[in-house]
Amino acid sequence: MSTSYALAIDIGGTFTDLVLHDPASGRFFAHKELTTPDAPERGVLSGIRRLLEREGIAPGAVARVVHATTLLTNALIERKGAPTGLLTTAGFRDILEIGHERKYEIYDLFLPLPAPLVRRAWRLEAAERLAPDGRVEIPLDEAAVLDAADRLVAEGVTSLAIGFLHAYANPAHERRAAALIAARHPSLHLSLSSEVSPQIREYDRLSTTCANAYVKPLAVTYLDRLAREIAALGVTAPLFLMLSNGGLTHVEEAKRIPVRLLESGPAAGALAGAVFGARSGAKDLLAFDMGGTTAKLAVVRDGAPRVAHRFEAAREKRFTPGSGLPITISTVELIEIGAGGGSIASLDALGLLKVGPRSAGSAPGPACYGRGGAEPTVTDANLALGALAAEGFAGGTMRLDLGAMDGALARLADAAELPRDELAAGIQAVVNEAMSAAARVHLAEQGGEGLDTALLVTGGGGPLHGPEVARRLGLTRVICPPAAGVASALGLLLAPARVDQVATLARPLDTLPAEELDARFGALEAEARRVIAETLGAHAAVTAERAADLRFAGQGFELVTPLPPGPCDMPAIRAAFEAAYRAVFSGVPPVAVVEVVNIRVAVSAATGDGRLDPGVPSGAPAAPHARRPVRFGDAASEAPVFRRDALTLGQVVAGPAVVEDGMSTLLVPPGARATLEASGNLVLDLPG
């Protein structure tokens, strides 16, 4: 038995998923625990105890712990962060409300705009001014800095964002202000824009820095407490955190800039999608993850999820760009495309059936959890239609309550004047079409990419709803990986350590000497390598990739362009930009000057060998262990039910059928065929 297990912890809105991986054998063991929203670490600790005891593994045998959580994202959405202040350049306290001076829906006279995280009374100013090239035009008024800090602390502010004009070009004023404030108020959490988001565009930079300050006390307190209590269990292994870009970092770096963790859980799911898709020869796919609270989609190209360098948090309108707070961090490009298993079904004012956005979460949870929930949810509908069984739910840790499910659905069915099963089928259809419609929009925005690829399904609800979502998208191949219900947690163990760094240049390409550009890239790489060394040790083998935000002179936005490896070659950089521009816009304008706005580096290092053994048995095909009526669309079928761990290599399961494992359930629709591969993936071929 191995003595160097890796443990993954993924906290979702409904369940906390845990996976224990033995790198020597490639075997892994999974467990689901209901999330405890009031104290997330409580569910984590309970789950660790149960998993270790069940597998007979000593806590000291765990050599690495990797964690992802939606805790910080929820704090932003629910506005439950710390009392936060902002110190900025005199005359610029209202940048957070001025924003981009753009309405995301131009004809709405009562448009709700995203409210700043820092209220105006706590946005204070200090006299200072830097030019765009970093020259000091007005020295920093140190007395004003201390006076502002004193006032904010006296009013209860516990976290302070410092964002001075053009600090990306020269951080001296921000660093001096931070030193003065830290000396007088050592318990005040500080976030500097020159560290959090050192790039051009004042609103985006300040918005990101304020978001970091808003969640920083929560992150510091939570991570310290989690590390302490995991150690108290006897697990003394180092704790790593998943970043939004799909990489890992150590705890101290995560506490310094926690805004980089906002999309950590979904990023792990996209990474798992890429890994398991490649094991079935699918390097281009759509990774579809549906959990208890939300469903997300990521486009995977050439075996890797796309990485964006900006996203929006806490949108006023979930699917409307421009309605949220801009966050300028590197993140796996994801779109929230629908509801989760706990999403609540209801009738609107016109009597039409709606699903979400309200969710039952884990407390009280869907009615069928038997924990006091009284409103019907997607999970209740799936149970009523036979897609789920009452026994064995969540790895056997729960038995679903058929009476509570029936009562919740019956009340809504009576209000809708529909039979119960018709209502349940309607809930399923509404949520499937909502997810499919959002996916179509996202794919159209990507230029139609992905329409000829596979759909890889993860999460507790992905295998349940994925085949129907794929059919509605016109896809004919669905890949369901082993332990699909905890695949995001498994993705944490496959993630490399990765650090992204950015710096603003804002200069024409032809005025930049290649040696100067190389030196600027080298400085960013050195800082990224430092963080990697702190995470994995000084001898970690790293790889570095360079990119630049380029545009033609006169344009207002840039195109992030991967650069050729090796020393900077200016003609090659321009050629790479023109090729990328042509791929997006189908042509190149007759403009001579190319501007370098930002430069970027991504430094990464592998954390393990990534070996996975799904334990696929050989032998005669397994027989179904049960049969039950399952409704597929408009018709119910008496479907055979297979245990996934009993299926043998190459076995084909013809639909209609159900394949169950401890963490998720795969529906095989009529006319479809599911084949078990040596990779452990069940590959579902749908009728054309």
Locus of tokens 């202000």: 177
Helices (H) and strands (E) in the chain, counts: 17, 35
28-51 mean pLDDT: 89
CATH code (residue 649): 2.90.10
In this prediction, residue 1 carries a pLDDT of: 46
What's the rounded mean pLDDT across residues 174-198?
Answer: 97
Contact yes or no for 424/410 (Cβ under 8 A): no
Element spanning 634, H or E? none
Q: What tens digit of pLDDT does each residue of 77-92 get?
A: 878 899 999 999 999 9
Residue 514 in domain: yes
Please check whether residues 554 and 666 belong to one and the same domain.
no
Q: Is the pLDDT of residue 611 over 80?
A: no
Assess if residue 656 is contained within a domain.
Answer: yes
- DSSP string covering 498-516, please? EEEEEEEEEEEGGGS-HHH
Is residue 571 within 8 A of residue 513, CB to CB? The reply is: no
| Confidence check: pLDDT of 640 > 80 | yes
Q: Provide the number of structural domains found in the chain.
A: 4
With a pLDDT cut of 70, the percent of the chain lying above it is 97
C-alpha dihedral (368, 668, 612, 308), degrees to nearest 10: -80
State how far the Cα of 464 lies from the Cα of 468, in Å rounded to an integer: 8
pLDDT of 220-251, one tens digit each? 999 999 999 999 999 999 899 989 988 888 99
Using CA atoms, how far residue 203 sits from 240, 258, 325, in Å, is 31, 19, 10
**Mean pLDDT across the chain:** 89
Residue 630 CA from chain centroid, whole number: 33
User: To 10 degrees, what angle do helices 172-184 and 142-154 make?
Assistant: 50
Decide if pLDDT at 397 tops 80.
no
Residue 171 within any structural domain of the chain: yes
- Distance between CA atoms of 214 and 306, rounded to whole angstroms? 27
pLDDT tens, residue by residue, 465-495:
999 999 999 999 999 998 888 888 888 887 7
Q: Is residue 640 part of a domain?
A: yes
pTM (2 d.p.): 0.87
pLDDT computed for residue 479 by the predictor: 95
Residue 290 domain-assigned (yes or no)? no
Q: Cα 33 vs. chain centroid, distance in angstroms?
A: 20
Containing structural domain, residue 206: 78-212
User: Does the structure show a pLDDT above 50 at 143?
Assistant: yes
DSSP state of 496: P
Cα–Cα distance, 138 to 413 (Å, whole number): 68
Residue 599 forms part of a structural domain = yes
Confidence of residue 662 (pLDDT cuts 50, 70, 90): confident
Highest mean pLDDT among 95-109, 227-241, 285-299: 227-241
Are 114 and 35 in the same domain? no
What's the whole-number mean pLDDT along residues 409-422?
A: 92
57: CATH: 3.30.420.40
3 state SS for 329-389: CCEECEEEEEECCCEEEEECCCCCEEEEEEECCCCCCCHHHCCCCCCCEHHHHHHHCCCCC
Q: Which among 196, 123, 137, 185 is positioned nearest to 165, based on CA atoms?
A: 137
Domain presence at residue 613 = no
Which residues, in sequence order, are bridge partners of residue 31? 18
- Dihedral sign, CA of 163, 166, 169, 174? negative
Same domain as 660, residue 564: no
pLDDT at 257 over 80: yes
How much is the average pLDDT of 273-291?
A: 88
Q: How far apart are alpha carbons 130 and 132 in whole angstroms?
A: 7
Residue 618 has φ and ψ, to the nearest 5°, of: -105, 170
- Predicted confidence at residue 610, as pLDDT, reads 64
- Residue that finishes a domain, picked among 153, 180, 212: 212
Q: Are strands 294-301 and 304-305 parallel, antiparallel or unpaired?
A: antiparallel
pLDDT at 447: 60
CATH number for the domain that contains residue 510: 3.30.1490
Do residues 594 and 632 both lie within one domain? no
Residues 94, 205, single domain; the answer is yes
The mean pLDDT value for 501-516 works out to 92
Q: Higher-confidence residue: 75 or 403?
A: 403
Same-domain status, 153 and 201: yes
667: Cβ–Cβ under 8 A, 6 or more apart, which residues? 387, 463, 464, 467, 468, 630, 632, 658
pLDDT of residue 345: 92
Q: Are residues 531 and 591 in the same domain?
A: yes
Same domain, 134 and 208: yes
Residues 83 and 208 in one domain: yes
Residue with tokens 């000084």: 538
- Choose the weakest-confidence range: 144-153, 202-211, 452-461: 452-461
Q: Each residue of 500-537: b (16+ CB within 10 Å) or e?
A: bbbbbbeeebeebeeeebeebbeebbeebbebbeebbe
What pLDDT, on the 0 to 100 scale, is given for residue 346?
Answer: 92
Q: What is d(CA 258, CA 256) in angstroms, rounded to the nearest whole number?
A: 6
**Is the confidence at residue 571, as pLDDT, over 80?**
yes
Residue 369 resides in a domain: no
Q: How confident is the model at residue 3 (pLDDT cuts 50, 70, 90)?
A: low
- Non-local (6+) Cβ contacts of 417 within 8 A are none
Burial of residue 72, with CB atoms counted within 10 A of its CB: 0-12 exposed, 13-18 middle, 19 or more buried: buried
Q: Is the domain of 141 the same as that of 45?
A: no
**With b meaning 16 or more CB within 10 Å and e meaning fewer, what string describes 188-219?**
bbbbbbbbbbbbbbbebbbbbbbbbbbbbbbb
Q: Is the domain of 90 the same as that of 199?
A: yes
Express each pLDDT in 333-378 by its tens digit.
888 776 788 889 999 888 899 988 788 877 788 999 988 889 999 9
Contacts of 590 (CB under 8 A, 6+ apart): none
> pLDDT band at residue 556, thresholds of 50, 70 and 90?
confident
Please state whether 338 falls in left (phi above 0), alpha (psi between -120 and 50) or beta.
left
**In angstroms, rounded to a whole number, what is the distance separating the alpha carbons of residues 389 and 31?**
18
Same domain, 592 and 503: yes
